[in-house]
Amino acid sequence: MFRSVPKGPADPVFILSSKVKADKSPSKIDLGVGVYRNEQGKYNELGVLKQAKEILTKAELGHDYEVTTGDAEFVKNACKALFGAETEPVKTERIASAQAISGTGSIHLAALFLSRAEEFKGKKVYVGTPAWGNYEPLFNLVGFEVVKYRHYNAERGTVAFADLLKAVDQAPSGSIFVLQGCCHNPSGADLSKEQWRTLARAMKPKSHFPFFDMAYQGLGAPLAEDAFGLRHFTEQGFELLACQSFSKNFGLYGERCGVLHILTEKEAAADNVYDQLRCLIRWEFSSSPAYGSRLVNTVLKDSALTSQWQDELAVMRERLVGLRMTLYDLLTKKHKTPGNWDVILTSTGLFCFLPLSPQQCETLGSKHHIYMLLSGRINVSGMNQSNIERIAQAINEVVQGAPSSRL
């Protein structure tokens, strides 16, 4: 029995993590892990979270099961943080919201829901590449065919916007388009406000369905600005969905705290959508995790704590920008490293593609104990003032030793 079961496909992130773990060098640097690290290279616990923990401890809420779709106050406050508290869909309750197992679980739940909806039978899912590695298997798992188009122009370090518009034009009407609202993973290349407006104008006559992945709200710009694309599509009358994660902007990685929001045309439709989500959650994982959502809600329902959270996000953003500027200056001014390094400054959020070949990335790990994905994607927060000079020096060495050539 089970002799026919093959191995699963290789996971580049898992392979990289294994290499980092196996390296016993005290000076190793991990630029691959997709979490925010502080200046000491450690987990960064927000001060507002510490306060929320104290409040919950005093409340003595216990550990009973949470409601299947999550605490109603939590999902409502999460919805306001994403769509805006005073927006018409929030006030008229046209949005069906249910807690999910962070961003990944939210995307899975959304894909599963769409696969069972009559309106999406036979539809294809369009994903810009390079993309987060889980999109394709998540959609394939529930029976969707994924069509890829180019999202990132590696030569310019920007969104390949013409390719996106071409995909929108050529896709059959009613297709599903996965859109990362901010801090694109893995490229860090985001659409400008004008590009979001143009994209909405292009998608509207084709009746395409926007599938927003909102995993990093607040890490690229203030909350409202990072949600600009989503909110603009909402204002233009689209029905859409948004997968929200609190892993990155609250540092609640292990708590797996997220919410799926589905914006419908009418409140009656939202009620039915919500009930379908309730069924899917009940059949799959029964009830929502409580602790992480209680922490988030403790902050979101208190204006003073919410303000403190936003201030802490601003500090994180400023640090990411400062690290980008330092690395750029070291490579271009101090070492005069050959190549175009502008992408370091034009990308946003945690991630950035360095213009390095897979061979150069491999050498950085094997020779210098500096680890990144072979695509050249780095987590900017893995750098700090104690290691950034060594990182720049090592990059300069591998580039000077061999010409860079991107895949």
The tokens of 5 are what?
């079961």
Please say whether the beta carbons of 259 and 79 come within 8 A: yes
The amino acid sitting at 318 is E
Tell which residue, 152, 235, 147, 222, has the closest CA to residue 182: 222
58 noted as active-site residue: no
Q: What angle do the packed helices 72-83 and 228-235 form, to 10 degrees?
A: 90
Eight-class DSSP state of 330? I
- For residue 214, what are the contacts with CB-CB under 8 A and spacing of at least 6? 82, 103, 180, 181, 182, 226, 227, 230, 242, 243, 244, 245
In whole angstroms, what separates CA 255 from the centre of its chain?
Answer: 16
In angstroms, the CA 16 to CA 30 distance is 9
3-state helix, strand, coil in the chain (%, to 5): 50, 15, 35
248 noted as active-site residue: yes
In angstroms, the CA 314 to CA 319 distance is 9
The amino acid sitting at 386 is S
End-to-end CA distance of the chain: 41
In angstroms, the CA 398 to CA 393 distance is 9
Catalytic residue among 71, 190, 248, 309: 248
Catalytic residue among 30, 71, 76, 132: 132
132 noted as active-site residue: yes
The tokens of 76 are what?
């409502």
Catalytic residue among 213, 226, 309, 341: 213
In angstroms, the CA 360 to CA 375 distance is 10
| Phi, psi of 120, deg, nearest 5 | -110, 10
Catalytic residues: 132, 213, 248
